Amino acid sequence: MQIEVLPLSNKQMKKKVTDESQLGFGKLFTDRMLLVEWTAGKGWHSARIKPYEPFVMDPATAVLHYAQEIFEGLKAYKWEDGRIALFRPEMNARRFNQSAARLCMPEVPEELFLDGIDMLVDLEKDWIPTAPETSLYIRPAMIAMDPVLGVKPSDHYYFFVILSPVGAYYAAGFNPVSILVEDVFVRSVAGGTGDAKTGGNYASSLKAGLEAKKNGYDQVLWLDGRERRYIEEVGAMNMFFAYGNHIVTAPLTGSILSGITRESVLRLAIELGCTVEERLIDVNELFSDLKAGKVTEAFGSGTAAVITPVGKLGYKEDSVQIGGGAVGNITQKLYDTLTGIQTGKIEDRYGWVRIVDPH
């Protein structure tokens, strides 16, 4: 599909941040965005890269009421040689369409998803920060646009992509976070939408997140929705535990989001000399293993922070430190290897990196 590039006036060009340590995460956006529309009977049309600006929406627009929405998250890195790299964007395209199918939304042709991002990122390449830990965060999303209050799939959708230059996800740096096992609220259940990247999952997670913070913890460790017994995810990341060189994570049983970082960790860990296992992790067993010192490291994985070390876990009235509260060896090695591949400093032996074509 032809993607039209609309002109950008001087007035629509924003000032770039010169001090990259001030970027934060997802607070400012570049000058342009991609917008493509889908209409029943017509399919995808009107693909254009246009100035970044607010949408004009009818207050009855379906997405505002019933949350028929999906999104993705990936990053572009500017390498020292000037090339721009994306990390496994084909996986995001595929997952976007799996989410679309779950939410009764039209699939976006993979080529449109990838070419649209390529073109937009290339046009906005001056916005990609280069300081350590920084990158250009890419946010594709799709929303239901019918201005109708009846509950049904829309006949009109927007697929759009916005870009945000970002700094390190955690202002405090690569330090262990504390997590609290949530035994009342659940993020999702098998058969629900936990394995789709959709906004509603996040809206329903906010309450538990706030309560964890009130209790002095950084994030929530979610249990399964049926028995409140098996570990699922941490915040919006996949969760791993290391028993020495043996790494375990929860299997994809339908309520867990299939992370691209998760999949990459499972492959890299083997090359780092670890064994990996996807199995149900009983929170009571885990807690006694932690207390017995058998669990040596714990970390979360996701695009935004890549790897997040976990130094403390709370469950009911009890809490336990992990790895003396310091960053473990495997955790550090995985972080260094993944970010090394993403930034072109470590050879990509997996075909994970996609260089953005200059347009």
Ligand X SMILES: *Cc1c(COP(=O)(O)O)cnc(C)c1O
Residues that bind ligand X (CB under 6 A): 73, 197, 233, 236-238, 257, 259-262, 301-303
Structure-token match 């209050």, residue found: 149
Closest distance of CB 229 from ligand X, Å: 19
3-class secondary structure, 335: helix
Q: Report the nearest approach of ligand X to the CB of residue 161 (Å).
A: 16
Question: Judged by CB, which is closer to ligand X: 148, or 252?
Answer: 252
Secondary structure class of 10 (helix, strand, coil): helix
Task: Select 303 or 342, whichever has its Cβ closest to ligand X.
Answer: 303
Of the pair 78, 262, the CB lying nearest ligand X is at 262
Minimal distance, residue 302 CB to ligand X, in Å = 4
Torsions phi, psi for 31 (to 5 deg)? -75, -25
Answer whether 181's CB lies under 8 Å from 146's CB: no
Residues contacting 105, CB < 8 A, separation 6+: 68, 70, 99, 142, 144, 153, 154, 157
Cβ 183 to ligand X shortest distance, Å = 19
CB-nearer residue toward ligand X: 78 or 197: 197
How near is the Cβ of 260 to ligand X at its closest, in Å?
Answer: 3
Q: Alpha helix locations (H) across the chain?
A: 62-66, 89-102, 110-123, 199-203, 206-214, 260-271, 283-291, 329-342
Residue 56's Cβ-count burial label (10 Å; 0-12, 13-18, 19+) is exposed
Nearer to ligand X, 224 or 233 (CB): 233
Cβ count near 184 (within 10 Å): 9
Token look-up 């959709």 returns 198
CB nearer to ligand X: pick between 134 and 261 = 261
Q: Report the Cα–Cα distance between both ends of the chain, in Å, rounded.
A: 15
Q: Is the dihedral of CA 31, 163, 76, 142 positive or negative?
A: negative
CA distance 279 to 286: 12
311 within 8 A of 343, measured Cβ to Cβ: no
Shortest distance in whole angstroms from residue 298 CB to ligand X = 16
R_g (Cα) of the chain, nearest Å: 21
Cβ of residue 154: shortest distance to ligand X, in angstroms?
22
Closer to ligand X by CB, 146 or 233: give it.
233
- How many CA atoms lie less than 13 Å away from 335 in the CB half-sphere? 22
Minimum CB distance to ligand X smaller for 187 or for 312: 187
Tell the smallest beta-carbon distance from residue 123 to ligand X (Å): 24
Residue nearer to ligand X on the CB measure, 236 or 298: 236
Compute the least distance from the CB of residue 346 to ligand X, in Å. 18
Distance of alpha carbon 139 from alpha carbon 71, whole angstroms: 7
Q: Would you call 310 helix, strand, or coil by DSSP?
A: strand
